[in-house]
Amino acid sequence: MELKYAFGQALRELRMSKDLSQESIGASQSYVSDVERGLKTPSIEKLDEFASTIGIHPVTILAKSYLIKDRSLSPEELMAQVRKELGM
């Protein structure tokens, strides 16, 4: 799966887990819809805005995106890699 589609799926799942509408997390419902369908890629500022509105850390959206993209990767493996790369 392409990363932009995985990102859109992750955003949709996280948004829906908080019972939020597309209108409530972005500038417009059509923009959020386009992002969730993988048609548009948000800027880092927009990623931060989405995360803040959902009530999560922006890295959570990215982590979930990579877990969707690579289903063979476990959350534990991903976090271990991140901790190692951060020198923790």
To 10 degrees, the CA torsion angle through 66, 19, 39, 74? 10
Of 56, 68, 44, which Cα lies nearest the Cα of 17?
A: 56
Contacts of 42 (CB under 8 A, 6+ apart): 35, 50
- Size of the chain in residues: 88
> pLDDT digit string (tens) for 24-54?
998 799 999 999 999 999 999 999 999 999 9
- pTM of model > 0.75: yes
